Structure 1
Amino acid sequence: MFNKKEFIKEETFLNQKVLFVNLKKLNSDAKIEKLPFTIRILLENLLRNFDGNIVNNDHIEYLLNYDPLCKEKIEIPYFPSRILMQDFTGVPFVVDLAAMRDAAKELGKNPETINPVVPVDLIIDHSVQIDYFGTKDSLNLNVKKEYERNSERYQVLKWAQVSFNNFSVIPPNNGICHQVNLEYLSKPIRLSKTNGELFAFPDTVIGTDSHTPMVNGIGVLSWGVGGIEAEAVMLGQPYYMSIPQVIGINLIGKVNPGVTATDLVLNITEFLRKYGVVEKFVEFFGEGMKELSVPDRATISNMSPENGSTVTYFPMDEKTAEYLVLTNRENEAKIMINYTKQNLLFAENWDNVIYSNVLEFDLSNVNPSIAGPSRPHDKIFLSDVKNKFMNILNGKKKKVEITLRGEKLTIEDGSIVIAAITSCTNTSNPKVMLGAVLLAKKAVEYGLQVKPFVKASLAPGSKVVTDYLKKSGLLPYLEALKFHITAYGCTTCIGNSGPLIKEVEDAIDTGGLTVASVLSGNRNFEARIHNKVRTNFLASPILVVAYAIAGRIDINFEDEPLGYDPNGRPVFLQDIWPSNEEIDNLISQVITSNDYKKEYKKVFEGDINWQNLRVKFSSTFQWNENSTYIKKPPYFDNFTLAVDEPSDIKNARILLLLGDSVTTDHISPAGAIRKDYPAGKYLKENGVTVDKFNTYGSRRGNHEVMIRGTFGNVRIKNKLVAPKEGSFTIKFPENKEMFIYDAAMKYMEENIPLVVFAGKEYGTGSSRDWAAKGTVLLGIKAIIAESFERIHRSNLIGMGVLPIQFLPGDNYEKLGIKGDETISIIGINNLYPQKKVKIVAEKPDKNRIEFECVVRLDTEIEVKYFKHGGILPYVLRKFIN
């Protein structure tokens, strides 16, 4: 039996006696030095939590003798030290926990025993929308509107803050959760008391937002999980994971002048997506890594979901320490250096590490780029953008003449109607933010303006960004180009772009125009940014400003001017592009640790709007039956402690036939609520006027809205109704077209189970728990796809929906499935990981198609979760038994 005490070392950090797990003690034959740094952190986590039961000898041995190729799927328990949430995922979490407290009370148990066991930080950043822009008072007006729309939701979060233990809330109007996590919450090495003794250990985080890996940029091992999985961890469950392959990326060369961190991340995203890193860890090393600042690294790490990996990790080094000092964490920097150098976690001796595979990436090969029109990993070199866009149009352009505030203008295919500096990806990076204000200064000096039909906005990721923009003295130049500060939140990147200029929107409808948005974000999936904008491009903040001035995406910056000065002389992009020296000089002048100290000492206070929300402690939540925002969810209705064995699915109907790369943006309700769709009809029936609909994201605490919006994306392509797009299907056997929600309810009345067939990469995108919750509430029992994205597959299991994968080479089209069949799935009893099941598709003429598939329950714990009907019933039974 492993003896944990033998591997505990005592040390003094900052005049404190501290204990830590001593990896060097295990380093016989340089065994630890051969492990990737991420695997070393997982090993430390197991050693520290060893109890001989949940963490046993086998788990330790698996990692000590790590097989880089991971030929076997081996499961280990993992104990993250923190959980990060934003309000879209946080409200459903609070609602679920409130419902669990109700269930505990109904079973005669003390509801106050239901509490987060692991500390939770919730940052409210996802609700603010860009209703107002282009003026000094835009920020205040948008915040006022935010509270008008969301006070009811915010009261629930404030109730949770006072009624739950281990639960903190950073109020609205402070910044984006990942940037706040990077600049303030994360401490690469944490100190915490366990059984009265102070322990030091690496900070580890799971988050209910897929861009949680951003803090991999400072060596904090973190990744996004489903909200359902996070709830289980909060309540004391370990996070069960398969030991991952780790792909090493050897960075060589230097970044060329004029190339931004955004260019770098778009190129790396494409590079890793092409190689294939889904469900793998990615770890950087090499001399080129020393060329990258922490903000550059964080920009890269942020895009882990887009490149497909679980984490994109930079081991801790001198650059990490420099960033901690800059961000007012000097003590944390000292602890980090001391701990990592003593415990084999400092970035050195890379030559000893054995990775699953090693790829080389040359920084000097990166050229200015954007990505689009609908996927983050579809990189386009800046010089190719015009040709690529014209190919989308098949070489033909449509135009509409409009009058906007007395001025006659032309809106055409390719016109940019949204230009947004936003999102955690780039607003955390001073180089691209200050580069944007420098470009704006030169543009204004040349007499250039942003086109009148462009909706421009600036949403800093934290208030520190505003501080250094103001200190630069250059913010007025951005404002002169209509890039006023509009919010502190995710805004356009998550679809909270607000309405387009009305005359512009009318022109799009009239002419059937294919217009564009350009944003410094990380997501550009179909209908995400705005449902009227068909093409969306990711770019650096510097290029966002440049494109706003040009007013169109189909421009070749190399030989076409951005515009003309008042004397008619052409002004080209190279005329106003800031040099690296200009940017670096400005950074050195305007950013200090005092900025971080000043802003973060008051981050929990909230503004006057937050302080005016009055709530009191109560052990259970007082549900308001008339609320259209918050409703008690049905997951624990008729809950019992007994567990029924799952049985075969018989005579199910196909609700949707879907293609490849169906994202959680297609599945999960997001963005604006259409008045003619089921969710809009429900709200109108409940007395809500269209102007008060708000967004799906803001109503995630109301399952009645969310279930009606599941598979409700206006661009979803259900082949049962092709070529029609949107939330429609065919109800069988009547062969009648209906809304997906309406058809699902009809099937439910008839006690007919449902399945969905799909292609490759099902569930790509944000870690939206409602993509799984809505699925189960529609009555869908199984998803049968060619492959699944990691987080969504876990979420489906967490809600008791069975993910099933075709055998290699098979898909529903090859098998001849048309959608009018009844489906039976045989072999669901006696489940075990990756069991093969038989699927029988019976056609209307009684002919049958039979084939085998693999159940994507990959581990024993996933089998347990499924048998219990999901993670939450499983955890609740453990909690109150």
Structure 2
Amino acid sequence: MPNSFNAKTALHAAGQDYEIFKLDAVPNSARLPYSLKILLENLLRNEDGVTVTRQDIEFFSQWNPQAEPDKEIQYRPARVLMQDFTGVPAVVDLAAMRDAMVALGGDPRKINPLQPAELVIDHSVQVDHFGSNEAFALNAELEFQRNQERYKFLKWGQKALDGFKVVPPDTGIVHQINVEYLARVVFPNALDGVTQAYFDTCVGTDSHTTMINGIGVLGWGVGGIEAEASMLGQPVSMLVPKVVGFKLTGTLKEGVTATDLVLTIVDQLRKHGVVGKFVEFYGPAIATLPMGERTTIANMGPEYGATCGLFPIDQITLDYLRLTGRDEAQIALVEAYCKAQGVWHTAEAAEADYSETLELDLGDVAPSLAGPKRPQDRVTLTDMASHFPVALASLKQERGIPDKGPAKTIIDGQTVELSDGSIVVAAITSCTNTSNPSVMLAAGLVAKKAAALGLNAAPWVKTSLGPGSMAVTRYLDRAGLTEPLKALGFHNVGYGCTVCIGNTGPLPAPVSQAIAEYDLCAVSILSGNRNFEGRVHAEVRMNYLASPPLVVAYAIAGRIDIDPYQDPLTTDASGQPVYLKDIWPTQDEVNRAIAENVTVDEFTSAYADVYAGDAHWQSLDAPDTQTYDWPADSTYIRNPPYFDGMTMEVAPVADIAGARCLAVLGDSITTDHISPAGSIKPNSPAGKYLIEKGVEPKDFNSLGSRRGNHEVMMRGTFANIRLRNLMAPGTEGGVTLHQPSGEPMSIYDAAMRYESEGTPVIVLAGKEYGSGSSRDWAAKGPRLLGVRAVIAESYERIHRSNLVGMGILPLEFVKGENAQSLGLTGAETFEIVGLNNGEAKQVEVRATAADGSVKSFTAKVRIDTPNEVDYYRNGGILHYVLRKLAT
């Protein structure tokens, strides 16, 4: 391998010699932001003269922070991280590729992870049971009953695929296990008799992979398609981004939490605009910012729009590694390597050259929530009482919801009144905040003070606690806060992504009936990161993000439209009003609880045998074969048709002619809108399919859990109940008008009809198309529905890449134009000409109306890199990889 800059050298740490590639071998590298130093080291180590050249490395020596990104590099992350919702379809694709490899005459064992791939089963537990000591066990039992097929399949993958590890269910959420256990920070790797050390880096099949940025590890979310390619040895093709420096100063005021801080940062960065950029945090406040706060901020990178939100490595990082039970030799390696590479952070560290800078004084942060439908819509706690009526009126007007409440109903023998603004879901969810002992212990202390006053959650509130790992349970137990949380209804319902992903389970029947009968705008409050429409629960129209202690307080109040500083939450047994200040802990109380109860024992005990699983997992039988024997009657795992009829030859890319529009969509269409993860309605195309296969509605599980079955996922595409297709005004859900007949029908049925007619289809959309989770089925589903192109005003980074990865053409309206300004209704016939075999930078789109009139406009081709051109020509990234491996 070339070593153009003579960067290869030796490092000695903790009695071991390592080969490393020194950054200071490259001129001017000291001025680079930390994240770009990681990319630079990656190129130095992987220089091969073909995918990585001397010129690629020299670019970093001359990097211009203000220049628009135009330099493509081939980046090779150290490992791949997956959760089961996205991991199951990834392993399904690998199994299908093994079959396809056999069909092409190759060796199926070539389809194998070439770098560590770790999957945590965490997205399948649902909150069917809550508010009791049996909730965890009952939910776990149901989880295994519903998901045995999927879990057996993953056990097959663990046996058949080298370098693939599975953390069994009921252990914790992927991001927290990554932070607390899987992350190396500096990666030691034996290669050809030499042990190399390099920066730990990862890509993950979940947007919130960015949580790992909190401990200095560069990682971000990619689609499952890209993750599979990375596992198979393909580099991640990327443009070297701009880097935004975010300076943190000051300290948080009394009563302000890390959640308030991150919601403020989300608000500020969204307003600034950081989509497609790296964000790095620096400044004097870093030296006192605990790891819990760092990981909370890093987790919400997708919410503020950045590719990553990276913190430096310093003494706090080492202290955290020691707290979480990492090996002392590994900790010594992290320190020695970072100091040798000049990335060890101290208060005296020189400021890097950033493309842009922002600043926040932590003392300016105020207690906040975010909602009712986007994480960047921050509302200070003091403004909630005035904010909610305005938000409610806007929603009712927009959706045409009549005023029919309030509703009286009976819950547990008690007559209660529900109305707009009633909180029906209050959840301490695992993703964003449970890696942070300060907010988790604060929630426990709020519960303890409330329980001492004899308070309870309002009877109509579905309460739940989803610890991010077993370590959280252990330190809450040790602090004596588990029982007070239970007294308020916050029993452990399962380790995994619950309410935040829509695995909320059913609302109590009286609550559900009241919402339906009176068209109530009910509310959820959760300590998660996503509150998009239709995500938390289909029957809950308004959703707010808040810190765990505020979730407990609002559960007591049972309403969102109060000012907790001025209005009482409730009254105690003697009829005296109880205010938020009466149950809110001081920061000294929280700090004391952390010091006394968060110890290394909690983490070493939790991770002592992390891959073993419980009796359910151990009892699962899995086949021991190189290719998977697809069960013919399975409704969870099916061999997808992506490779049907595939040959080694690549046909030229043709222009698109005679296409019809499947949907005309507005702004901020999320991957949840395109491919929802929640419940399956019996009268939906997916529900009808399952009923035809003999599955009863009670056993439907969720769309997320069915991602290994393309038949379900095709029918679930564009099936979010809150999706509004402008082609079918006055409707919600996956409804469209078939053209030219004008018949209303489901989007799935229309797509199948177009397929039978030999008609390709396209989608028109507005700004931020595909925002939200890195969901590969939001690209796979449309591809299987026959979507050949999407024309949008702008795209979310991961989704645009996923479209290319599935062979769908992403086009962009020129600035100032959109479907509405061009007068497009979706009833036209579309031609897309000038593709030039995938190499065109722009194309002409011709839309022909029924009367024969033609509107022509130019659209930008968003195939951004030469590698993506290859993927698109091949029909997708998996086809490209398969052809390469089969030669």
- Whether 2:259 is the aligned partner of 1:267: answer no
Aligned ranges 1:464-863 → 2 under 5 Å: 464-832=471-839, 835-863=841-869
Q: What is the rounded CA distance, in whole Å, between the counterparts of 2:4 and 2:121 in structure 1?
A: 40
Q: Which residue of 2 is the match for residue 158 of structure 1?
A: 155
Q: What is the rounded CA distance, in whole Å, between the counterparts of 1:503 and 1:241 in structure 2?
A: 52
Name the SS of the counterpart of 1:783 in structure 2.
strand
Q: What is the rounded CA distance, in whole Å, between the counterparts of 1:739 and 1:185 in structure 2?
A: 43
- Whether 2:220 is the aligned partner of 1:214: answer no
**Paired letter, 2:146:** R
- Whether 2:454 is the aligned partner of 1:447: answer yes
Q: What is the rounded CA distance, in whole Å, between the counterparts of 1:622 and 1:565 in structure 2?
A: 61
Instruction: Work out whether residues 423 and 489 of structure 1, in 8 Å CA contact, stay in contact via their aligned partners in 2.
Output: yes
> 1:753 Cα shift?
0.6
**Paired letter, 1:842:** T
Q: Which residue of 2 is the match for residue 391 of structure 1?
A: 390
Q: What is the rounded CA distance, in whole Å, between the counterparts of 1:90 and 1:484 in structure 2?
A: 28
Name the SS of the counterpart of 1:721 in structure 2.
coil
Q: Which residue of 2 is the match for residue 67 of structure 1?
A: 64
**Paired letter, 1:305:** P
**Paired letter, 2:417:** T
Q: What is the rounded CA distance, in whole Å, between the counterparts of 1:345 and 1:194 in structure 2?
A: 24
Q: Which residue of 2 is the match for residue 22 of structure 1?
A: 22
Q: Which residue of 2 is the match for residue 298 of structure 1?
A: 295
Name the SS of the counterpart of 1:384 in structure 2.
helix
**Paired letter, 1:849:** K
Aligned ranges 1:308-387 → 2 under 5 Å: 308-329=305-326, 330-348=328-346, 350-387=349-386
Name the SS of the counterpart of 1:6 in structure 2.
coil
Q: What is the rounded CA distance, in whole Å, between the counterparts of 1:698 and 1:677 in structure 2?
A: 17
Q: What is the rounded CA distance, in whole Å, between the counterparts of 2:430 and 2:642 in structure 1?
A: 33
Identity within the alignment, %: 51
- Whether 2:873 is the aligned partner of 1:874: answer no
Name the SS of the counterpart of 2:207 in structure 1.
coil
Q: What is the rounded CA distance, in whole Å, between the counterparts of 1:227 and 1:76 in structure 2?
A: 20
Name the SS of the counterpart of 1:636 in structure 2.
coil
Q: What is the rounded CA distance, in whole Å, between the counterparts of 1:68 and 1:641 in structure 2?
A: 43
> 1:840 Cα shift?
0.4
Q: What is the rounded CA distance, in whole Å, between the counterparts of 2:411 and 2:11 in structure 1?
A: 69
Instruction: Work out whether residues 224 and 767 of structure 1, in 8 Å CA contact, stay in contact via their aligned partners in 2.
Output: yes
Instruction: Work out whether residues 286 and 350 of structure 1, in 8 Å CA contact, stay in contact via their aligned partners in 2.
Output: no
**Paired letter, 1:837:** V
1:498-556 deviations in Å (ceiling 9; x for gaps)? 00001000000010000000111010110101000000111111000000000011111
Aligned ranges 1:87-166 → 2 under 5 Å: 87-166=84-163
Q: What is the rounded CA distance, in whole Å, between the counterparts of 2:460 and 2:814 in structure 1?
A: 50
1:152-208 deviations in Å (ceiling 9; x for gaps)? 100000000011101000000100000000000001111111221011111000000
Q: What is the rounded CA distance, in whole Å, between the counterparts of 1:252 and 1:669 in structure 2?
A: 40
Q: What is the rounded CA distance, in whole Å, between the counterparts of 2:430 and 2:729 in structure 1?
A: 34
> 1:669 Cα shift?
3.1
Measured on the aligned residues, the alpha-carbon RMSD in Å equals 1.2
Q: What is the rounded CA distance, in whole Å, between the counterparts of 1:480 and 1:354 in structure 2?
A: 52
1:19-60 deviations in Å (ceiling 9; x for gaps)? 11111233x4xx111100000000000001111111111111
Q: What is the rounded CA distance, in whole Å, between the counterparts of 1:739 and 1:103 in structure 2?
A: 32
> 1:65 Cα shift?
1.5
> 1:723 Cα shift?
2.1
Instruction: Work out whether residues 720 and 733 of structure 2, in 8 Å CA contact, stay in contact via their aligned partners in 1.
Output: yes
Q: Which residue of 1 is the match for residue 398 of structure 2?
A: none
Instruction: Work out whether residues 29 and 60 of structure 2, in 8 Å CA contact, stay in contact via their aligned partners in 1.
Output: no
Q: What is the rounded CA distance, in whole Å, between the counterparts of 1:414 and 1:331 in structure 2?
A: 54
User: CA 1:305 to 1:818, structure 2 compared with 1: closer, same or farther past 3 Å?
Assistant: same
1:61-80 deviations in Å (ceiling 9; x for gaps)? 11221121233511000010
Name the SS of the counterpart of 1:63 in structure 2.
helix
Name the SS of the counterpart of 1:283 in structure 2.
strand
Name the SS of the counterpart of 1:447 in structure 2.
coil
> 1:743 Cα shift?
0.5
Instruction: Work out whether residues 706 and 712 of structure 2, in 8 Å CA contact, stay in contact via their aligned partners in 1.
Output: yes
**Paired letter, 2:17:** K
Q: What is the rounded CA distance, in whole Å, between the counterparts of 1:584 and 1:723 in structure 2?
A: 53
Structure 2 stretches of 5 or more lacking a match? 395-402
Instruction: Work out whether residues 324 and 604 of structure 2, in 8 Å CA contact, stay in contact via their aligned partners in 1.
Output: yes
> 1:3 Cα shift?
2.8
> 1:625 Cα shift?
1.2
1:841-870 deviations in Å (ceiling 9; x for gaps)? 111111110110100011111111101000
- Whether 2:430 is the aligned partner of 1:423: answer yes
Name the SS of the counterpart of 1:393 in structure 2.
helix
Q: What is the rounded CA distance, in whole Å, between the counterparts of 2:601 and 2:552 in structure 1?
A: 29
> 1:321 Cα shift?
1.0
Q: What is the rounded CA distance, in whole Å, between the counterparts of 1:573 and 1:640 in structure 2?
A: 66
**Paired letter, 2:107:** N
**Paired letter, 2:338:** T
Q: What is the rounded CA distance, in whole Å, between the counterparts of 1:424 and 1:682 in structure 2?
A: 32
Q: What is the rounded CA distance, in whole Å, between the counterparts of 1:287 and 1:184 in structure 2?
A: 28
Aligned ranges 1:20-59 → 2 under 5 Å: 20-26=20-26, 28=27, 31-59=28-56
Q: Which residue of 2 is the match for residue 82 of structure 1?
A: 79
Instruction: Work out whether residues 2 and 48 of structure 2, in 8 Å CA contact, stay in contact via their aligned partners in 1.
Output: no
Q: What is the rounded CA distance, in whole Å, between the counterparts of 2:839 and 2:865 in structure 1?
A: 8
Q: What is the rounded CA distance, in whole Å, between the counterparts of 2:11 and 2:405 in structure 1?
A: 71
Aligned ranges 1:188-207 → 2 under 5 Å: 188-207=185-204
Q: Which residue of 1 is the match for residue 7 of structure 2?
A: 7
Instruction: Work out whether residues 285 and 350 of structure 1, in 8 Å CA contact, stay in contact via their aligned partners in 2.
Output: no
**Paired letter, 1:687:** G
1:779-802 deviations in Å (ceiling 9; x for gaps)? 010000000000000000000000
> 1:591 Cα shift?
1.2
Q: What is the rounded CA distance, in whole Å, between the counterparts of 1:126 and 1:318 in structure 2?
A: 33
Q: Which residue of 2 is the match for residue 436 of structure 1?
A: 443
1:438-475 deviations in Å (ceiling 9; x for gaps)? 01011111121111111101110000000000000121
Name the SS of the counterpart of 2:417 in structure 1.
strand
Moved more, 379-388 or 600-609: 379-388
**Paired letter, 2:48:** D
Moved more, 316-325 or 304-313: 316-325
**Paired letter, 1:337:** E
Instruction: Work out whether residues 669 and 770 of structure 1, in 8 Å CA contact, stay in contact via their aligned partners in 2.
Output: no
Structure 1 stretches of 5 or more lacking a match? none
Instruction: Work out whether residues 423 and 522 of structure 1, in 8 Å CA contact, stay in contact via their aligned partners in 2.
Output: no
Instruction: Work out whether residues 404 and 518 of structure 2, in 8 Å CA contact, stay in contact via their aligned partners in 1.
Output: no
User: CA 1:3 to 1:406, structure 2 compared with 1: closer, same or farther past 3 Å?
Assistant: closer
Name the SS of the counterpart of 1:298 in structure 2.
helix
> 1:394 Cα shift?
2.8
